[in-house]
Amino acid sequence: MSPPDATPAVVDTVILRYFYVVDQAELLFALLGEPLLAPRVVFDPDEEAKIPERAMSEITRSIFVQRMRSNDRRRDESERALAASHAARLDQVAADQAAGRIEVADLTSSETEIFAKLGSRGDPLDVGLTFALDPGEAACVAVAVERKLVLATDDSDGLKAYRALRPKGRYERIRKLLKRAGESGLVQPAEANAIHQAMCDARFWDKGRPFPNS
């Protein structure tokens, strides 16, 4: 299923992470269309099996951290079980990539240049950043800008850079996506709120709600 204007979307780690940990990947595909694009720094199916943490893609690192928590004896049993469940759900990203529902984006040279500049201190592109962007975010912004795609992110710093580089470019955030899901009938508004709450329970930092009055 494709979204209304059928422009492909490039997704960052935050979007993938939260839709997958609450088991709502199908809703994400329904909202943004298929395949979703993810730069290798967000998810790389060609990562070596025993890769050191510093070289992991962000989704693999997220799975690694959740597994570590699930084995951490300083956490109580319910926390460890939740972490194990998050890791298992994030494992599904690889299966969806293998099924062609997520496509890996390799950066072109012009995208690599933007990626490198956004990922460095001192705001070399003069887009109003105080700090270097997270590499996954920098890569997503570079791809969305150069290929004129929809940027799906929930990183306010990434959005600031994206708006500066592509002022009229379309973007999506988690709450906005869930609101659209509720308005288009993909889910009921109360369900959209419940999904959002589940994400917050998984430590998503958004303070609002898709449907504040529901």
Q: Which residues of the chain form contacts with other proteins (CB under 8 A)?
A: 12-14, 17, 39-41, 44, 47-48, 50-52, 54-58, 61-62, 64-66, 68, 72, 74-76, 78-79, 81-82, 106-107, 112-113, 115-117, 119-121, 124, 130-139, 155-158, 201-205
Closer Cβ to other proteins, 5 or 46, answer by number: 46
- Helix or strand (DSSP H, E) at 103: strand 102-105
Closer Cβ to other proteins, 116 or 165, answer by number: 116
Peptide bond into 35 cis (omega under 30): yes
**Minimum distance of other proteins from residue 11's CB (angstroms):** 13
Closer Cβ to other proteins, 122 or 183, answer by number: 122
Residues β-bridged to residue 150: 9
Closer Cβ to other proteins, 55 or 190, answer by number: 55
Q: Where are the alpha helices (DSSP H) in 42-168?
A: 58-70, 77-98, 109-118, 135-147, 156-165
**Minimum distance of other proteins from residue 184's CB (angstroms):** 28
Strand order, beta sheet including 36-39: 102-105, 36-39, 9-11, 150-152, 171-172
Cα–Cα distance measured from residue 181 to residue 26, given in angstroms and rounded to the nearest whole number: 12
**Minimum distance of other proteins from residue 188's CB (angstroms):** 22
Closer Cβ to other proteins, 115 or 171, answer by number: 115
Residue 199 burial (CB count, 10 A)? 23
**Minimum distance of other proteins from residue 20's CB (angstroms):** 13
**Minimum distance of other proteins from residue 91's CB (angstroms):** 15
Cα–Cα distance measured from residue 209 to residue 184, given in angstroms and rounded to the nearest whole number: 17
